[in-house]
A and B are shown apart, each in its own frame.
Chain A
Amino acid sequence: MTGALQRFLPLIVTTAVLVVGFLICATQFPNFASWRVVANLLTDNAFLGITAVGMTFVILSGGIDLSVGAVIGFTTVLLAVLIEHGGWHPVPAFAVALIAAGGFGAAMGGVIHVFQMPPFIVTLAGMFIARGLGFVLTTDSVPINHPLYGELNDMALRFDFGLKLSLPALLMLGVVVAAVVLAHWTRFGANLYALGGNRQSAELMGVPVGRTTVAVYGLSGLLAGLAGIVFSLYTGAGYSLAATGVELDTITAVVIGGTQLTGGYGYVVGTFVGVLIQGLIQTYITFDGTLSSWWTKIAIGVLLFVFILLQKGLLVVWAGRGGEPAEA
């Protein structure tokens, strides 16, 4: 029993923070506790949630992916250029964007594995390349006016009790569910946790380290591409500077969600809750109206600090007396 409690404690704490935060908001603002707010929370953070799922996988495997924000920006530009300048139908454009983003991620994974280079710096180079490619395509913000965009934006799943889930929100929820299955009920998921826990042991146990590394960065790139499609739906435009800093927002969500940055431990669901907590802070500040936007950054920084401390505290408790805390 204590084992299960220990395992899920970070997840429980994160979820408790979300619930308590929502209750605080609901008591302060009478209109807060409505399905509309919930639906907006999911829609507004859909691209962040999708990206954060990919980031969770990368971090679980013991790596990091700094290129996701740039890949989102590049995807929106690619879509805009293909659809508006090239006259493409959005569906093949989506396919090309997903293949490009996934291939880009897989290539970074390959470089990381083959040349044994730190993921931090390889994906940093990837970030420069993806942003640069976006700039080269166009530096303008290109509006996308294809009728399909309007139809997709009107699409929603309505429930009888009043909840209306938009397409981005549904996509995010679908990705989260698929990711949970992938992480906990497939061989790939088991390999991922093993790789993040200890690379050498994983290799000795027969985990295909190279294939898993390429796959996990490919998956992160693919999800960033999907997030780029969602972002272009959401903003109705393609802009090479779109989604700057999203890589940090997603890493923050992953950490708040209880995943350890040293790899091997964490849950996709936690990341999802972490994204919602960030969204909740932003919604609170919007509702309040008197608080300035910079309080979002400070609040998220404080939250990040508290959660890291919490993780460290748990590690020390688990390791017992004399145990050396994890160090990277």
Chain B
Amino acid sequence: MTLSAPGPARNLPQYGALFAVLLANWLLFPDFFAIRLQDGRLFGSLIDVLNRGAPVALLAIGMTMVIATRGVDLSVGAVMAISGAIAATMTGAGWSLPAVLAASLAAGLLCGLWNGLLVAVLRIQPIIATLILMVAGRGIAQLVTEGQIVTFTSPALAFIGSGSFLTVPMPVVLTIVVLAVTALLVRATALGLMIEAVGINRLSSAGAGVNTPVVLVAVYVWCGLCAAVAGLIVTADIRGADANNAGLWLELDAILAVVVGGTSLLGGRFGLVLSVVGALIIQSMNTGILLSGFKPEFNLIVKAGVLLVVLLLQSPTLTLFLPRPKGARPIGTVKPPVAPTSGGAKP
């Protein structure tokens, strides 16, 4: 549906932006790329960007798949809060690490299943279907922690947040693992193709033999799982669960990362690695604003500015005025996607 230059040229804006932000950080802060090994773990500003960007990158991986089906998942922040609340509460009650991890991931899976069934079977608009869990989920998380900020001291769970594997911090390792598994699932099988097909036209892909309900449920379940992992990392990092604030507004950061990564909100095309790059761009900007001594208050405005520029570049209207590669139709000449109307359903 969306035409784009083939090959690596398509990815240039994202990598270029990441490079530019990192370069700006380096100019402001010459030690930015300095990495040192201490107590068997890597330290440095660059590692910090990766480490702090991990939760949003994880959310962005799941969100990418959802957005590729022309959906959106607003509940990921609340799912993070639920999974973190379960992990902290169970650890506090003396459960072993495997049981804690299994329960947290199962909670994420259930949340995703709920969202997926609403979207796939009841055919509720994704924004509104996931809004239910976004509103109620934080209440559920508070129910689990009984409104308290639950803290724990178990080093086993804390390892997920602050430990390291082969000198690389665990959040980064987990993100790489999830990214690799996701990429393998969607690119080595036909799943990715089916996700894109559903995003382009749900009815046609169903007609072409794609089992659309299963694809949709799978996508939301995966998004829920990614959110649960992100929730575990955040909880393990601060050694506690705050049901009110864990993952608050991160759904918006995740959507921002996906959009900055070039995945169209209209569905049908996605780039997993690019979404992670998008998350890293956002995190590098955050770090850069902090390092440069600007007030963190400017963070939101800078984010909004980046979002608008990326959107403008994707806008069908603007593309008409830009020089286009030979032989390619401008996007504007393709029939604009029309939201299917409810037709006879109107009173």
Binding site for B on A (CB under 8 A): 3, 6-7, 62, 64, 111, 114-118, 120-122, 124-129, 131-133, 135-136, 139, 197-200, 248, 251-252, 255, 260-262, 264-265, 292-298, 300-302, 304-305, 308-309, 312, 315, 318-320, 323-328
> Could you say which residues of chain B place their CB within 8 Å of the CB of A323?
343-345
Q: List 23 A-B contacts (CB under 8 A).
A: A62-B339, A64-B127, A115-B311, A120-B265, A122-B311, A125-B308, A128-B300, A132-B297, A132-B300, A135-B300, A139-B297, A251-B128, A297-B136, A300-B135, A301-B137, A301-B139, A308-B129, A312-B123, A319-B345, A324-B343, A325-B345, A327-B342, A328-B125
> Could you say which residues of chain B place their CB within 8 Å of the CB of A127?
252
- Interface status of B299 (Cβ within 8 A of chain A): yes
Binding site for A on B (CB under 8 A): 72, 122-129, 131-140, 142-143, 146-147, 202-203, 243, 252, 255-256, 259, 265-266, 295, 297-301, 303-304, 307-308, 311-312, 314-318, 336, 338-347
Instruction: Report the separation of the CA atoms of residues A139 and B308 in the bound assembly, to the nearest whole angstrom.
Output: 24
Contact B127 A261 (CB under 8 A): yes
Contact A118 B265 (CB under 8 A): yes
Contact B135 A132 (CB under 8 A): no
> Could you say which residues of chain B place their CB within 8 Å of the CB of A118?
265-266
Identify which of B128, B137, B338 contacts A308 (C-beta below 8 A): B128
Asked if A308 meets B317 with Cβ closer than 8 Å, knowing A262-B339, A323-B344, A328-B125, the reply is: no
Asked if A136 meets B301 with Cβ closer than 8 Å, knowing A200-B338, A323-B344, A326-B342, the reply is: yes
The A interface, classified by DSSP as helix, strand, loop or mixed, is: helix
Nearest B-chain residue to A122, judged by Cβ: B311
Contact A124 B312 (CB under 8 A): no
Contact A293 B311 (CB under 8 A): no
Contact A128 B131 (CB under 8 A): no
> Could you say which residues of chain A place their CB within 8 Å of the CB of B336?
116
Shortest A318–chain B CB gap in Å is 5
Instruction: Report the separation of the CA atoms of residues A72 and B111 in the bound assembly, to the nearest whole angstrom.
Output: 31
Instruction: Report the separation of the CA atoms of residues A126 and B305 in the bound assembly, to the nearest whole angstrom.
Output: 10
Contact B315 A117 (CB under 8 A): yes
> Could you say which residues of chain A place their CB within 8 Å of the CB of B147?
292-294
Contact B136 A197 (CB under 8 A): no
Contact B311 A117 (CB under 8 A): yes
> Could you say which residues of chain A place their CB within 8 Å of the CB of B311?
115, 117, 121-122, 125
Identify which of B132, B203, B339 contacts A328 (C-beta below 8 A): B339
Instruction: Report the separation of the CA atoms of residues A186 and B133 in the bound assembly, to the nearest whole angstrom.
Output: 37
Contact A297 B297 (CB under 8 A): no
Contact A308 B136 (CB under 8 A): no
With A132-B303, A326-B341 given, name 8 new contacts (CB 8 A).
A117-B311, A125-B304, A135-B300, A200-B338, A262-B339, A294-B140, A326-B345, A327-B342
Nearest A-chain residue to B301, judged by Cβ: A132
Q: 3 nearest interchain CB pairs? A: A301-B136, A297-B139, A326-B342
Contact A315 B342 (CB under 8 A): yes
Nearest B-chain residue to A7, judged by Cβ: B347
Contact B347 A261 (CB under 8 A): no
Contact A115 B341 (CB under 8 A): no
Instruction: Report the separation of the CA atoms of residues A198 and B123 in the bound assembly, to the nearest whole angstrom.
Output: 19
> Could you say which residues of chain A place their CB within 8 Å of the CB of B341?
197-198, 262, 326
Interface-centre pick from A6, A62, A128 (highest chain B CB count, 10 A) = A128
Instruction: Report the separation of the CA atoms of residues A304 and B133 in the bound assembly, to the nearest whole angstrom.
Output: 10
Shortest B146–chain A CB gap in Å is 8
Asked if A261 meets B125 with Cβ closer than 8 Å, knowing A128-B301, A298-B143, the reply is: yes
> Could you say which residues of chain B place their CB within 8 Å of the CB of A129?
300-301, 304
Instruction: Report the separation of the CA atoms of residues A296 and B147 in the bound assembly, to the nearest whole angstrom.
Output: 13
Instruction: Report the separation of the CA atoms of residues A297 and B203 in the bound assembly, to the nearest whole angstrom.
Output: 35
